[in-house]
Amino acid sequence: MSREVAVLGVGMHPWGKWGRNFVEYGVHAARAALADAGIAWKDVQFISGAATMRCGYPGYVAGATFAQALGWQGAQVNTSYAACASGSQALAAARAQILSGGCDVALVVGADTTPKGFLAPAAGYRPEDPDWVRFHVGITNPTYFALYARRRMDLYGATVDDFTAVKLKNAAHGAENPNARYRKRFTAEEVNTSAMVADPLRLLHVCATSDGGAAIVLSSLDYARRRGGQAAPRIAAISTVTPRFASTEVEMPDIATDSAAVAAGHSFRASLAARAYEEAGIGPADLSLAEVYDLAASMELDWYEYIGLCKSGEAEGLLRSGATSLGGRIPVNASGGLACFGEAVPAQALAQVCELVWQLRGQAGARQVQDARVGITANQGLFGHGSAVLVKR
């Protein structure tokens, strides 16, 4: 039995800081995806929402919230929360429902409305919550990004100019993306003179938080075939694995790593893509493009290695060769990435998949990757969550 499902439609609400209810973005994206698929909402049998923690109870039950806003029609419903991987888990739930024969057509939706500035934890004295502890000590998300960046500089000779080059590359890609929030082609001087956030990372190296929404219509391959038309891109793998003990990389929001005194050490982020490749029988050499989580420009370089585009320590060379720019051998973040979108947590992993689908259909306009056949997404967030999705045509 094939473990693949078809992507019939994708849609987004443009990213920005619109300040409106997240439900509006989700419904906008859902309607766009349904129209793209040529499917009526009443024919959707399973709706899977990616939850948001910042919009009250409707956010915790996002699947039902979107279903009600679209109009209750008796679909089976699911909501997934997995920090930055929420969209991928919602996607995985829909895929599982299709593959188990529970439905033919599913709609996956994620949307968020974000506050200004740092994403902060709940109040009180709560030392049992690692997220509370690290903020109390003064450790924010950019702290972690900067620790990884400094580590690359020390181990591999990365320079601030490399991080800036990632930002400039993604800004050039995103300038061509109507769904991106930032469409400006920055100069190196603008990036390198923006305010220092967490040395060596400056404001324009670090991604913003954004409002936005993304949606995907999935179906069984049989259903897609019966509808005829152009062969739809297929989801070949979804990896949402946990870390393995001992996880020896400094990970948000922990104040300390696991101890590898007894158990062998493992890299969480490398395991995400590895599992997806294993499931699909696809390797890094098969890729046409990748969408990776550039929470900071420097982290895009980490992902080159974690998804197997090059060996550890070779990411700077790959970047400098131009291979990861549009027109290069393996364009990364052709969408513009988080550098141009900012992060709308429950929508972001779905937005990555939307970009792959447009690319594989040849509908990406000025940012089109030539003859795109296989793409991978990779993302990672708090509390041991992350994902990688392989899409092929």
Partner 1 sequence: MTAPQTAAAIQGWYTLDDRPQLIGSRCLTCGTYFFPRQGFFCRNPECPGETFAEVKLSRTGKVWSYTNACYQPPPPYVAAVPFVPFAIAAVELAAERMIVLGQVSEGVDVADLHVGMDMELVLEPLYRDGGQEKLIWKWKPVRGGQ
Binding site for partner 1 (CB under 8 A): 117-118, 120-121, 123-125, 127, 132-140, 142-143, 146-151, 154-155, 195-201, 245-246, 248, 250, 255-263, 265
Of 218, 213, 214, 10, nearest to 107 by C-alpha is 218
- Give the nearer residue to partner 1 in terms of CB position, either 139 or 334: 139
**How would you classify residue 296: left for phi > 0, otherwise alpha for psi between -120 and 50, otherwise beta?**
beta
Q: Are strands 234-239 and 5-16 parallel, antiparallel or unpaired?
A: antiparallel
- Give the nearer residue to partner 1 in terms of CB position, either 188 or 260: 260
For 187, which DSSP code? -
Strands of 133-190 (E only): list them: none
> Hey, CA dihedral for 339, 341, 343, 345, is it positive or negative?
negative
We find the least distance from the C-beta atom of residue 118 to partner 1, in angstroms, to be 5
Q: Roughly what angle, to the nearest 10 degrees, separates helices 22-37 and 62-70? A: 70
- Give the nearer residue to partner 1 in terms of CB position, either 242 or 321: 242
The single residue listed with the structure tokens 């859902």 is: 30
Of 383, 342, 296, nearest to 53 by C-alpha is 383
Count Cβ atoms below 10 Å from residue 245 Cβ, excluding itself: 14
- Give the nearer residue to partner 1 in terms of CB position, either 257 or 370: 257
Report the DSSP beta bridge partners of residue 386: 380
How far apart CA 37 and CA 21 sit, in angstroms, is 25
How far apart CA 132 and CA 130 sit, in angstroms, is 5
We find the least distance from the C-beta atom of residue 203 to partner 1, in angstroms, to be 9
Instruction: Locate 64 and state its tokens.
Output: 């039902």
- Give the nearer residue to partner 1 in terms of CB position, either 133 or 221: 133
Instruction: Locate 249 and state its tokens.
Output: 């990389």
- Give the nearer residue to partner 1 in terms of CB position, either 167 or 173: 167
We find the least distance from the C-beta atom of residue 288 to partner 1, in angstroms, to be 33
We find the least distance from the C-beta atom of residue 261 to partner 1, in angstroms, to be 5
For 83, which DSSP code? T
- Give the nearer residue to partner 1 in terms of CB position, either 277 or 306: 306
- Give the nearer residue to partner 1 in terms of CB position, either 35 or 263: 263
We find the least distance from the C-beta atom of residue 81 to partner 1, in angstroms, to be 21
We find the least distance from the C-beta atom of residue 267 to partner 1, in angstroms, to be 13
We find the least distance from the C-beta atom of residue 332 to partner 1, in angstroms, to be 23
Using a 10 angstrom Cβ sphere, with 0-12 exposed, 13-18 middle and 19 or more buried, the burial of residue 378 is: buried
We find the least distance from the C-beta atom of residue 75 to partner 1, in angstroms, to be 37
